[in-house]
Amino acid sequence: MNRLKGKVAIVTGAADGIGLAISQAFANEGALVVMCDINVDKCDEEAKRLNDNVGTARSYACDVGITKDVKNVVDRTLAEFGKIDILVNNAGIALSGNIVEMPEEDWDRLMNINLKSAYRSIQIVLPHMLGKQSGSIINISSIQAFRSWDNWTAYAGAKGAMCSMTKQLAGQFGVENIRFNTISPGAILTPMNEKRIQEEGKAFLQKSIDQAAMKRLGKPQEVAMTAVFLASDEAPFITGADIKVDGGLGVLPRYL
């Protein structure tokens, strides 16, 4: 409790899955949480639940693929709370496809939501963090950035770029006391994977379980715990790091 007391956090993709778990964990630790999502009804509902039960949360409609939406979130957050201490770039979509067949529109859409979104939000939020010489920016990558999986070229490319971009920024802005880190989840049971089960069947998830050292899927809350740590004053000297929350999916050979 209170590990984030008084800190103001923006979390994207906060209506469901990992982003929702991060928002809940941040609120439980005393943060004022600005939850952003395109799914406005669900985001409103979840923010209300947090307000009723634990603390302060706001729900702002935002498509991270649209610059004016992101700017609106930052402006409203600063107008209401006066500062931004934590930014979590979590919103993302899962779009697979063999590179030979993948339509250019799919590639562009994925890059816009999963990668350019971080450029947008960091460009708008960073000047405020620089002004107060303090901030923690957490980018959600994926274990896909580190290992091969058939037909996930674009997704893995965006996630790998997220890690590289984070390291570059950590190097440049460490002297200003702004920390940049990535979390790379393995296979986590969220609506993203539930949708894939409906489309592709359960076999792909069983493969992820078989290939993970811990032989199970992760929970969104297990990713959220790491986000709390990185956002908190318990990690004041950690920047440019990638923390894999993957149950050992990254350490075993690809196909057993």
* Binding region for ligand NAD (CB under 6 A): 12-13, 15-19, 37-39, 62-65, 90-93, 113, 140, 142, 185, 187-188, 190-193
CB 26 within 8 A of CB 232: no
Question: Rounded to the nearest whole angstrom, what is the least distance from the CB of residue 27 to ligand NAD in the complex?
Answer: 16
Angle, to 10 degrees, between the axis of helix 117-132 and the axis of helix 67-81? 30
Given 60, 119, 155, 255, the catalytic residue: 155
Q: Which is closer to ligand NAD, CB of 135 or CB of 185?
A: 185
Is 60 tagged catalytic? no
Question: Rounded to the nearest whole angstrom, what is the least distance from the CB of residue 123 to ligand NAD in the complex?
Answer: 16
Cα–Cα distance measured from residue 256 to residue 254, given in angstroms and rounded to the nearest whole number: 7
Q: Which is closer to ligand NAD, CB of 16 or CB of 85?
A: 16
CB 91 within 8 A of CB 79: no
By Cβ distance, which residue is nearest to ligand NAD?
Answer: 17
Q: Which is closer to ligand NAD, CB of 177 or CB of 229?
A: 229
Q: Which is closer to ligand NAD, CB of 37 or CB of 85?
A: 37
Question: Rounded to the nearest whole angstrom, what is the least distance from the CB of residue 194 to ligand NAD in the complex?
Answer: 8
Residues recorded for the chain = 256
Question: Rounded to the nearest whole angstrom, what is the least distance from the CB of residue 254 to ligand NAD in the complex?
Answer: 16
Token code pair at residue 130:
């620089």
Question: Residue 9: which of 27, 17, 60, 132 has the closest Cα?
Answer: 27
Cα–Cα distance measured from residue 245 to residue 185, given in angstroms and rounded to the nearest whole number: 5
CB 7 within 8 A of CB 31: yes
Which residues make Cβ contacts (< 8 Å) with residue 179, sequence separation at least 6?
Answer: 135, 136, 137, 170, 230, 235, 236, 238, 239
Question: Rounded to the nearest whole angstrom, what is the least distance from the CB of residue 81 to ligand NAD in the complex?
Answer: 20
> Catalytic positions, please?
155
